[in-house]
Structure 1
Amino acid sequence: MVSSKEIVSALPDLCGVYLIKDSTGNIIYIGKSNSIKKRISTHFRTKLADKIASVDYILTESELSALILEASLIKKYKPKYNVSMRDDKQYPFVMLTMSEDFPMLTISRKVDDEKSVYFGPYKSLTARMLIKVVSKIFGLRSCANFKKRAQPCLNYYIKRCSAPCIDNISKKEYWINVKKAIDFLSHGPEQLLKELKSEMDKASRNMDFERAAKLRDNIHSIEKMISRFENRYTKQKRKDLESLNELQKIFSLKKTPKRIEAIDISNIGKDNTVGSLVVFLDGAPYKNNYRRFKIRTAKLPNDVAAIYEVVTRRYSGSLKDKFPFPDILLIDGGTAQLNSAMQA
């Protein structure tokens, strides 16, 4: 059997997507990183370590391409340990409504229209940023109720729509952009930029300098938007990581916390008390694991007894085996509530 050191040493210190396989050759986890080598090295310090038999990878030229490819592969293979993005309504899809004359680009939390094309799932912020970038590049509409207008909406003036509503673009031209957008969302920006640069070189050789200049400006604009997207995406990831690292120091943890749970009690009237469990995964709300507990054993209202019941039901009841144990558990309240949770 190949050792962890041998696996890591064979991997590149480059941006891309990696596919972790078990001893039977099944893909059990798919991820992305600016450094595949460093990320896999980190995985060997987690609970996934003893399940890693081999690692395949696909290099990409940008983090945006890695992001798009990762979502596509997770959707295709449905790896066992990609629990945070599998069958979870928290993570939306980018959707193109292909049944319309001028397809709409929007966010959807359900895959329920056979005539539409879906990309993802992504985290909400990522999905919104992708739609902004794709709308800017290809001019696809995002309005829910398409109809002919005398004047275009704001999106046209801020260059996020080509305004088919005022016949500013033909159906044929619009569908050319739709197909390019599908390719962009399926494979990333590299192929699009390659084609545009090839067209620019061809126009220059044919001495069509006006077209070459226009293509050059388009290329620069796309590269600028992609850079802006990646900077914002990286900034958000860095902010989340810094917060988690700070929590690691505060609680003197051996590793950066991945799963955080918090429990709170709400009293509605004298006889109606509810306990709430909220969960954060990698710094982001993980609503699929949120739970509500109707307090039934305590003499109400009694927050201390209610905390004891919720903690017991979460960590000793049916949820014990269903959910992993958190790295950090937060109890809302004072010393009495904390002591009650520790006794449960």
Structure 2
Amino acid sequence: MTLHETIKQLPDSAGIYEYFDKSGNLLYVGKAKSLQKRVKSYFSFMPTLRANPKLSVRITKMIEQTKSMNYILVNSEHDALILENSLIKQLNPKYNILLRDDKTYPYIYIDTSQKYPRFEITRKIIKDRDIVYFGPYSVGARDILDSIYEMCKLVQKKGSLKSKKLCLYHQIDKCLGPCELDVSEALYKKEVDLAYELIKNKKLLVKKLQERMLFYSENLRFEEALELRERIEKITRSEIRSEIDFATNENYDIFAISHSDSRAVVVRLFMRDGKIISSTHDFIALNEGFDEDELYQRVLINFYKDEKPPIIAPILVASEFEGLELMEEHLSRVFEKKASIKKPKQGKRKQLIELAILNANELLKKDKNTNDKKILFDIKELFDLQRLPNRVEAFDNSHMSGVATVGAMVVYEDGAYDKKSYRTYHLVAKDEYAQMRETLTRRVESFYKNSPPDLWIIDGGSTLLKLALEIVESAGVFIDVIAISKEKIDTKSHRAKGKAADIVHTKDEVFKLKHSDKRLQWVQNLRDEAHRSAINFHKKTKVKLDKESKLLNLKGISQAKVVKLLNHFGTYEALKGTSFDEIRLILNEKDARIIKNIYF
């Protein structure tokens, strides 16, 4: 069926639509209250099917590349919103804006129903009407909590009251000792009230920490002074200085977006009890232009996700965006109460928006990625990539004679390695090809919770490149792929020190660049980081496996039998979960009983 025929048959129903290019690559995922009306708005049908001349340059470019489409019907526009967001995160279409900020921000809370309550950290609602929350905090929540317990004589540990005995904290004057002593609730409340004040008043908290830091420094306790200095830095890092004080107990979540040609930044401010308590921001790559309406929707749906936040505040935005009413409907379901999203036009609430915009613009000015971007543009042009490789994943595998086989993925974004996003995999495959297939397939299976990158770099030649492209295509995901291999001389890899003769493989070409070429060095650095990560994980795994092997040897299971077990079950973890009868079939009844006694 042609694109024109598909459009003519679209139903007047809610759903999501997908546009594909001539190679079957996914270009865009959109939602619609009426698929028929929404999709037809993109096109002009006379004299031939073409892009509607009223469209933006970005969307016109997309429609010109669109050669086919698919659609999925759902029950409501709200269901379409949820499905659209899920597909964008999993498939990373070329023309959609993808946010990778999936963090949930912590809150400090106290259960006031307790006789001697304590302060704790949570990221979710605790179902109790007597809970009081403070936050959210983008950074420094743990540092604030640690400071509170150093300055206030509260019950320091959860189990302290149950012990009924005074502990070290009472001896060093950090706890009133209600576990054993008759401490009045009024006296304990004074300490709780002081903690309240310090949590709500960051300036007072920081001032007291600075006084302690100076005391430690004057008494030559430099390590403790340094620790406090680092804590102060964390507590103040997310703070935006502002003279705005509502002198009321008003709460607001404030969102503002600013952008350049290739980057956008979203700033979030959190006002609690009339004061801004924390802020956070994220840079977003604009691979194919800017769509403010789509970005605001992505920002809000990703920030609040599908869990009711501990503190529900009215939402202020810097722009009225298309889909605002739908987003209010969605968040009302999440909040279990009416959600409010407004663009303030005057007064102090407008000043909050202006403050957020000011900080967003300043962040764009200070964006340190100018130099890093040049190499990315050079890489995109040389290897004919579909999009700028802002986020890159590089893969390698490691083993020793088929033992302790592992895979590793490293992540590069915004000019630096994103080590918290690194992943390692225990593999069961025996040969290099199957190992890479297993590693890449495992990664694809996790796209639903960890969105795909712009580029994959594979440690290997044209065969592994073809494998990776097949996996990407079968998953329907939009990712560029390149591979890097060592030059072969007499069937052996050639690596002259400082002059690595590496070859870069793309879908259509093979590049033999000079060792001094910055673009080759960029790819080599990512490949080497993946190799380092794989080797390190292999070594750790090997040590662990050797310990398991020795344990079995000590109990009378010979090394030959251990190898036989691993050849059959793949890993010790799989062996541990195997039944007595299965092990008995591989070895014998006596050995099976020994093994089950070891692990259970």
The TM-score, its normalising length taken from structure 2, stands at 0.27
Greater C-alpha radius of gyration: 2
